[in-house]
Structure 1
Amino acid sequence: MVKVGDKVRFLNSVGGGTVVKINKDIAYVEEEDGFETPILIHECVIIESAKDKSSSPVTKEIKVSQNFSKIQPNDISENDDDNKLSIIETEEGDRINLVLAFLPENAKNLQNGKFDTYLVNDSNYYIFFTYLNKTESGWNTRYSGIVEPNIQIHIEEFGKEDLNDLERICIQYVAFKKDKPFQLKNTASVEHKLDTVKFYKLHSFRENDYFDENALILNIVKNDVPERRFELNGAEIEAAIKSKKDIDTHQKQAVNKKHHRNNEPVEVDLHIHELLDSTTGMSNSDILNYQLDKFREVLENYKNAKGQKIIFIHGKGDGVLRKAILTELKNKYKHYDYQDASFREYGYGATQVTIR
């Protein structure tokens, strides 16, 4: 039970402090800025009891958004080192999704404020993990522990003086379930190169699925697939672009010849993962524009191939890319015929264009 003097964190929002007054079911919490925040008692998680002020504070903190199981203060036992929780599994949770999230404690003062780091376990698996950063002498462990299924765990608080240490970070993990059979998952080590300048820009923190507040989100694992980051210097990027142009040119010539011989339609997959190895730093708008540029490029290459059929695979999804393609065809390529591609082969996920 929360009482005056307890140090608490808020369950459904970022923040916390020391309880200075209790009125019925409302606790008044004094935060670091000296202001008192009224909050429902059941939305407070005790991280240091008043009677234990002389001992070290609890280092394991758990924060849950509306999309995850709710944790009440009495769910966490001070005498239980594992902080056992009732486990709630979801239908889609047997695929591992791990997210590293950074939240500003004061979005109005990014220059001087602190930031909180959370690991989000959006799966039905327990995740044993280590959170590391790279130094000149090697890798340094910043946190290690276990996060329960469908739970978000607070890893650390840091300030701008720590940002230089966070330019290279890594999450290593092992997934498992307790007291029941489960599908074996591969262990992995996922590195990220953080652009620390983003911590000074408010627009870097965006609306997300896991927190009520805007956050800077880094995907660690998506649907069982660990995220991989590729780091290239300027010379390597230039060489890769030149090489890709040479390959694309060769492939286009080969397709043209095959068409004239076999009169077969050409397939072009516009899914972004088929076009790029990584979309790091790209917004949804950037991705859509890249896909449309590829669409226009293909039509330009085949503009003299009368009768050529081209099938653009765009997928169903939210229909954003499909609508953009149809708009292009109606406005810029009116002389071409177009229709939905074979439903049997592509469902509603492709459009066929015939060059006229």
Structure 2
Amino acid sequence: MKIGDKVRFLSTTGGGVIAGFQSSSIALVEDEDGFQIPTMVNDLVVVNDDKQATTVQKMIPAQDNDYNKRQIKKENAIHNDEILDKVNSDTHIHVVERSGAETVNMYLGFVPQDKKQISNTKFHLYAINDSNYFLSYTYSLFDGKEWTLLSHNELEPNTKLLISEVSIEEIADYKNGAIQLTSYKVGKPYQLQPTLDVRLRIDPVKFYKLHTFRENDFFDEDALVIPVVENGVAVKELAIDSNQLKEKMLEKQKIDVTAPARKESSKKHDKNEPLVIDLHASELLDTTAGMSNADILNYQLDVFCKTIEEFKKNKGMKIIFIHGKGNGVLRNAVIHELKYRYKSFTYQDASFQEYGYGATQVTIH
């Protein structure tokens, strides 16, 4: 059995052409409408031409499926033995291994069919195997009461598989899910990997935002790529929903902004001692999972502005905002706010000796 062979199903009517193999036991059968159907190899029989296919179908009463199976298997027993010998051997699997891909990495990819109509489009959902291991997985969804199986399959190394087409209205059904997977290699020794059980949390609101879908390493189109397993470790939480995100922002704000104010109020404030606010995302948020770069930047600017508002009546006070050097995006955004929103305040680069290149000192006037 090879790519291009015409085949018929043994357990039901119909058939098609072998378009490829998902594994040693599963073939992709493309029907006349162009759909590829994953089918067990032992449920297929090769037919040489349309005449043979018609003969095979007519030789058995359609209503007796068991008799169908027995007769077709009998007529093709020798041929099928040859097929199964080839399919069950490892030689037909053309595994492409990459350097540096010896740890398990799995992702989900949501690709909008029409990014310009993001609020109405459908999404193709892919399972992505970015490693040199075979991944056998199940993906289930939780509705609050019970689990429903969405997909189970085997991903060959360094491949991606279309597993579902999702409408914007159906995205909410994917909010809570779980992927369980095992990893292995075929026909060669490998390092044993742990079986993983990953709980997924996906925020449906993100699918209405155009900037959620970005350039990536797996698709020619912009896509939302969500990590499931990275470097062999299950991602604990893939996203935070909007309400949880708001709570975490407020909680972190109390720690980083309000707390220093209370500390200063317990003693006479020394205007020569600056207040230091670190705007790095790692200092402001416990996690940035599920947040885009734009989301993070907006939150950092929100902390900056609220800090200025908190202390704008403390004339002569100095505040050091640590933004890092990086590519300058956060620094430029901070300077923009100072130029157009807080014109009365002066600013300069903070002491390099104390804060390095990535800090700006603001003086309240």
TM-score (norm 2): 0.58
Which amino acid in the other structure matches residue 349 of structure 1? G
Say whether the 8 Å CA contact 1:7–1:50 is kept in structure 2: no
Change (3 A) 1:249 1:217: same
Which amino acid in the other structure matches residue 305 of structure 2? R
Q: 2:347 aligns with which of 329, 337, 342?
A: 337
Q: CA deviation at 1:8?
A: 3.3
Q: 1:154 aligns with which of 154, 157, 161?
A: 161
Change (3 A) 1:221 1:112: same
Say if 2:101 is the partner of 1:85: no
Which whole-Å CA distance do the structure 2 matches of 1:181 and 1:259 have between them? 62
Say whether the 8 Å CA contact 2:136–2:155 is kept in structure 1: yes
Which whole-Å CA distance do the structure 1 matches of 2:195 and 2:313 have between them? 49
Deviates further, 165-174 or 45-54: 45-54
> Which protein shows a greater Rg?
2
TM-score (norm 1): 0.59
Q: CA deviation at 1:163?
A: 5.8
Which amino acid in the other structure matches residue 85 of structure 1? V
Identity of aligned residues (%): 35
Say if 2:126 is the partner of 1:118: yes
Which amino acid in the other structure matches residue 294 of structure 1? V
Q: CA deviation at 1:241?
A: 7.9
Which whole-Å CA distance do the structure 1 matches of 2:339 and 2:116 have between them? 45
Which whole-Å CA distance do the structure 2 matches of 1:109 and 1:350 have between them? 41
Q: CA deviation at 1:276?
A: 3.9
Say whether the 8 Å CA contact 1:97–1:220 is kept in structure 2: yes
Say if 2:304 is the partner of 1:295: yes
SS across alignment from 1:260: coil
Q: Deviations for 1:267-320, whole angstroms, at most 9, x for unmatched residues?
A: 322233433456677554343232212112212223344554433222333321
The residue number in structure 2 matching 1:322 is 331
Q: Deviations for 1:165-206, whole angstroms, at most 9, x for unmatched residues?
A: 534322345678984669x8895523224529948x988655
Deviates further, 132-141 or 102-111: 102-111
The residue number in structure 2 matching 1:8 is 19
Q: CA RMSD in A?
A: 5.2
Deviates further, 98-107 or 171-180: 171-180
Which amino acid in the other structure matches residue 336 of structure 1? T
The residue number in structure 2 matching 1:130 is 138
Q: Deviations for 1:244-280, whole angstroms, at most 9, x for unmatched residues?
A: 7766534422145578369544332223343345667
Say whether the 8 Å CA contact 2:136–2:153 is kept in structure 1: yes
Q: Deviations for 1:58-82, whole angstroms, at most 9, x for unmatched residues?
A: xxxxxxxxxxxxxxxxxxx844579
How many residues were matched structurally?
Answer: 300
Which whole-Å CA distance do the structure 2 matches of 1:51 and 1:225 have between them? 34
Which amino acid in the other structure matches residue 351 of structure 1? T
Which whole-Å CA distance do the structure 2 matches of 1:295 and 1:196 have between them? 26
Which whole-Å CA distance do the structure 2 matches of 1:98 and 1:104 have between them? 20
Which whole-Å CA distance do the structure 2 matches of 1:232 and 1:196 have between them? 8
